[in-house]
């Protein structure tokens, strides 16, 4: 799968959004597609190093509660999907297949699912469809493999934006939430 959104063209498109129909917007976005490649990295050292570097950048952003950069052991044995542009990794998704251990209101005991552990896009490439493309690439592979569910948790500080992304844009369903309030 290849996607690209030229930043200048995308900016112009975003600013003209109110004046365009949904069909015209979709047509213009598809015209912008070309140079970003989404792929599954299969045990490649370069992909692992790039993911570790991006994870460190994510930690510095301080955009998630308790996020710490990944170490090699956090990722090894997991499936890694990357978004690359001009030879540079600009986003990633990783996780793995698991089996539900306790029946839930969503799926039965023993159901196979894919747990997305992380999905990240560098700030200058956000809101350009890269995160969506990573997710959709994974979803297509999982459907081909017969996996029925994708699960994920989030600790983002910008929950409105991330819920919009996962629920409104990707079609995921809300299952549960854990909230907190710091008193001192």
Residue 22 resides in a domain: yes
pLDDT in tens, 112-131: 999 999 999 999 999 999 99
Residue 11 resides in a domain: yes
Total domains in the chain come to 2
Q: Are residues 119 and 70 in the same domain?
A: yes
Q: pLDDT at position 178, please?
A: 79
Q: Are residues 61 and 27 in the same domain?
A: no
Residue 174 resides in a domain: no
The gap between the terminal CA atoms of the chain, to the nearest Å, is 49
Q: Are residues 91 and 130 in the same domain?
A: yes
pLDDT-based confidence at 58, cuts 50/70/90?
Answer: very high
Q: Are residues 73 and 116 in the same domain?
A: yes
Residue 53 resides in a domain: yes
Mean pLDDT (the chain, rounded): 85
Residue 181 resides in a domain: no
Secondary structure of 57-121 as H, E, C letters: HHHHHCCECCCCCCCHHHHCCCEEEEEEECCEEEEEEEEEEEECCCCCCCCCCCCEEEEEEEEEE
Question: 23 is in which domain, residue-wise?
Answer: 1-34
pLDDT in tens, 76-92: 899 999 999 998 999 99
Residue 183 resides in a domain: no
Residue 51 resides in a domain: yes
Percent of the chain having pLDDT more than 90? 55
Q: Are residues 150 and 113 in the same domain?
A: yes
Q: Are residues 138 and 79 in the same domain?
A: yes
Residue 54 resides in a domain: yes
Q: Are residues 69 and 126 in the same domain?
A: yes
Q: Are residues 158 and 96 in the same domain?
A: yes
């Amino acid at each position: 799968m290849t996607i690209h959104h030229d930043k200048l063209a995308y900016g112009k498109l975003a600013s003209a959004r109110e004046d365009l129909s949904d069909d015209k917007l979709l047509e213009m976005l598809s015209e912008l597609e070309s140079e970003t490649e989404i792929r599954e990295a299969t045990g490649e050292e370069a992909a692992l190093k790039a993911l570790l570097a991006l994870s460190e950048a994510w930690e510095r952003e301080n955009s998630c509660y308790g996020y710490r950069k990944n170490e090699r052991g956090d990722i090894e044995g997991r499936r890694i999907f990357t978004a690359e542009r001009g030879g540079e990794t600009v986003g990633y998704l990783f996780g793995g297949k698991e089996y539900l251990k306790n029946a839930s209101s969503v799926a039965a005991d023993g159901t196979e699912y894919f747990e997305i552990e992380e999905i990240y896009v560098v700030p200058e490439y956000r809101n350009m469809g890269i995160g969506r493309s990573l997710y959709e690439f994974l979803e297509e592979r999982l459907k081909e493999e017969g996996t029925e569910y994708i699960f994920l948790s989030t600790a983002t500080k910008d929950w409105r934006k991330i819920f919009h992304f996962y629920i409104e844009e990707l079609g995921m369903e809300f299952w549960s939430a854990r909230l907190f309030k710091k008193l001192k």
